[in-house]
Structure 1
Amino acid sequence: MTPELFPPPYPRIFPLGESAVLVELGDRIDPDIHHQVLSLAAELEARSFPGLIEVVPAFNTLAVYYDPYTVSCPEQAVQSAGQNVLSPYLAVCEWVREAAARTESHQAEPLVHRRVVTIPVCYGEEYGPDLEYVAILNGLTTEDVIAIHSGRDYRVYMIGFAPGFPYLGGMSERIAAPRLSAPRPVIPAGSVGIAGTQTGIYPLPTPGGWRLIGRSPLALFNPEESPPTRLQAGDTVRFQPITASEYKQWERRRS
């Protein structure tokens, strides 16, 4: 049985500054709710309204950015009490509700291409200085942690924190670990980390407090490419363990 796309009281729409709205579709991290987020995002992109700039999906919300000047043009005005009201916020709320109704009517899969992306990772030693800590914390060997971490698929719920940083869902609680008490000043690009029951990949050298268990030689962010991020919300990620020598081969091919 197909789950109801937008059970009451959703979608709920809130102003996000003067040029965006936040559409809330649920109150938890859940694959079905994320499907709804992606479905609504795809519908808005496929049948955009005048002034739409960008839609940004997250775990259970969708941010809709728009140009208030374009939206408030007289021909885009919202009818209220028989009069034209030049309210960009109300106009966008109406378009979002209409898009949600269209999405719910056909119960469609997201109109975006769903990809499976394999990410090579060299685990441990200089590439994953916290691997042993994660293993000891959970009563496992480092080989166990690698097997568990690379043995399942992960959903990209959202891109955030830094350009191209994927927040991945689906990690086993058997390898959960707390953040560092004090963040490292610089995390090498490509580092794979764990924070609580989440895992992610640092695309750029940035400060960070996640426990580092490995590193990928793949570039996750390149501003010269379109799109600039290797991963997108809705993608499936699979981690492929590689050796240190294979990591260096990947680096040489990239350079």
Structure 2
Amino acid sequence: MTDTWTATTVAISPCGDAALRVTVDGADTDRVWAAVHRLAGWLNHGVIGPSVTAVPTYDAVLVEFDPYHTTGELIASHIRAWDTTAGEHEESAGAVLDVPVLFGGEAGPDLEWVAEVVGRPVPKVIDLVCAKEHLIRCLGGPAASAMMDGPDFDVPIPRLATPRLRVPPGAVSVAGRQAVIGPVAAPSGWRQIGRTPLDILRTDSHAGTGTDPDTDGHPDPDTDGHPDLDTVVPYRPGDRVRFLPIDEAGYADLLGVAMVPRHDG
């Protein structure tokens, strides 16, 4: 299947008995990413049925289904008929999350190493990290980590030769051309440059209901085609992160405060 903008193709392959992998390919990676997430939203909106769920990444969607209620062949036929450009000009800007970060020291043990690789002094590296809004591309493991575009460094950042067995919750790390915030403690081979004091993983006391955009920063998932991610983390793909440098006193003051998104305007 092709469309007109960059000869984008959609390939569908089985993943076991109850899932499909849908890969979108095209010359414009940003439009490929946007198409992937539109497709996932379309599927999660229930157009094929409530037993179908979709998990988007950078250029592919994992479509899971209940084989007792539908078939991979039926789902594939719907996807092949889907217009990859549908809704392309109707996408919202998403939310912005202001994320305070304590850089360096125990909070960012790899910051000086990253500065050496980049060839810039540490303060300049921090400036580059905080200079732009980082687009969240997808949610990764563990616990819906925010995988986002990285800082505008001149070179990609190599991963650790030996991953750490434990990186603390709130770690802000970089690797390649990407950055990530980890909600929970976990092993990681990424270069940790800082840590946010905010509580990322949602609890009942922090989570919005998902029905009021004024309380949780996102529209009702029943109307926007997304699963209710607001009960897990306060962000979703398409949101943007703005890092704000803080000192140790600021870190202590904000420790345990819930991370919440805002909307510009």
Q: Does the Cα contact within 8 Å between 1:166 and 1:200 map onto a contact in 2?
A: yes
TM-score by length of 1: 0.82
- Superposition RMSD on alpha carbons, in Å? 2.3
Aligned partners of 2:198 and 2:256 also within 8 Å: no
C-alpha distance after superposition, 1:86-141 (max 9, x if no partner):
xx11111012223x22x53554434x771111111111112111111111222211
- Give structure 1 stretches of 5+ with no counterpart: 72-87
How far apart are the structure 2 equivalents of 1:147 and 1:16?
Answer: 43
Give the 4+ runs in structure 1 shifted more than 4 A: 3-6
Matched, 1:240 2:244: yes
C-alpha spacing 1:220/1:28, structure 2 compared with 1 (3 Å): farther
Partner of 2:182: 202
Q: Relative to structure 1, is the Cα distance of residues 51 and 189 closer, same or farther in structure 2, using a 3 angstrom cutoff?
A: same
Unaligned runs of 5+ in 2: 208-229, 259-265
Percent identity for Structure 1 against Structure 2: 28
Asked if the contact 2:118/2:153 (under 8 Å) is kept, the reply is no
SS in structure 1 of the partner of residue 125 of structure 2? helix
Alpha-carbon distance change, 7 to 28 in structure 1, aligned in 2, over 3 angstroms: closer
Distance 1:165 1:106, change over 3 A: closer
Counterparts of 1:120 and 1:209 in 2: how far apart (Å)?
Answer: 23
Given that 2:43 and 2:52 are in contact with CA atoms closer than 8 Å, whether structure 1 keeps it comes out as no
**Residues 245, 146 of structure 1: alpha-carbon distance in 2 compared, 3 angstrom cutoff:** same
The aligned counterpart of 1:96 is: 79
Report the Cα distance in structure 1 between the residues aligned to 2:167 and 2:28, rounded to whole angstroms. Answer: 27
Deviation at 1:148, TM superposition (A): 0.4
1:69 paired residue number: 68
Alignment counterpart, residue 188 of structure 1, candidates 165, 168, 174: 168
Structure 2 residue matching 1:95: 3-state secondary structure: helix
Contact 1:39–1:108 (CA under 8 A) maintained in structure 2: no
Report the secondary structure of 2:115's partner residue.
helix
- How far does the alpha carbon of each residue in 1:189-239 deviate from its partner, in whole angstroms, 9 at most, with x for none? 101111122111121111111111100112222354443022211111111
Greater relative contact order: 1 or 2 (C-alpha under 8 angstroms, separation 6 or more)? 2
Indicate if the aligned counterparts of 1:29 and 1:60 stay in contact, CA closer than 8 A.
Answer: no
Which amino acid in 2 is paired with 1:240? L
Aligned to 2:119: 139
Whichever of the two has the greater Rg, that structure is 1
Alignment check: 8 A CA contact 1:185 1:208 kept: yes
Structure 1 stretch 89-98 or stretch 58-67: which is displaced more?
89-98
Deviation at 1:7, TM superposition (A): 2.7
TM-score when scaled to structure 2? Answer: 0.79
Partner in structure 2 of residue 109 of structure 1: 90
Name the SS of the counterpart of 1:180 in structure 2. coil
For 1:96, give the aligned amino acid. Answer: I
- The aligned amino acid for 1:204 is V
SS at match of 2:255: helix
Tell me what 1:121 maps to: 101
Distance 1:124 1:109, change over 3 A: same
Aligned partners of 2:6 and 2:28 also within 8 Å: no
